[in-house]
Amino acid sequence: MSGVNQYLCVALWLTACHVGRPPVTSTALALGQVRAPAAEPSLEDALRSGLGSALAARGLLDRKAEEQVNVWVRSATTRPVAVDGLQQVHTARLEISVEVTGAAPRSLVLSDELSYGVGRGGTLDASAARAAAFQGLAQRLSEEAASWIVYGPRQESP
């Protein structure tokens, strides 16, 4: 392959890597308010640590930043869905609202569900399984929120 063809292939490859990729947020953000219902006491901590870790992994977390990320739990529910032998299967559903404040404010509502099993008659096991389900949901939604903050659409300021 000639030098011109190699140069052309490299130029096309580099161009293709950037086509269609949304602009990346490089603004530092502070973690603002995280509000969760009192019925799920560990949920607030799980969301705070999950979102803080996700933003820190992307290099966006700064406690002194002007822009903040606020999270509100809109719904945290469980419901029994089936009985399987000696186990009851429940589904936990978590819905959160994520708001980025600052020069270009924006918000998003995210939700997810997770099924978990509970042995019959075990109240402590049921509470631990429910808490673990909400921990997992908080982690997944925190990762999704951080990705949206980085790659999501922005409002243009007038």
pLDDT per residue as tens digits for the range 13-52: 666 655 555 555 567 888 999 998 877 888 999 999 999 9
pLDDT tens per residue, range 142-152: 999 999 998 88
Average pLDDT over residues 58-67: 87
End-to-end CA distance of the chain: 50
Predicted confidence at residue 121, as pLDDT, reads: 67
* Domains of the chain by start residue, with CATH: 28-151 (3.30.160.150)
Span 121-128, average pLDDT = 76
Query: Average pLDDT of 93-122?
Result: 90
Question: Which pTM value belongs to this model?
Answer: 0.78
Pairwise CA distance, residues 117 & 89, whole Å:
4
The DSSP result for 36-60, as a single string, is --TTSHHHHHHHHHHHHHHHHHTT-
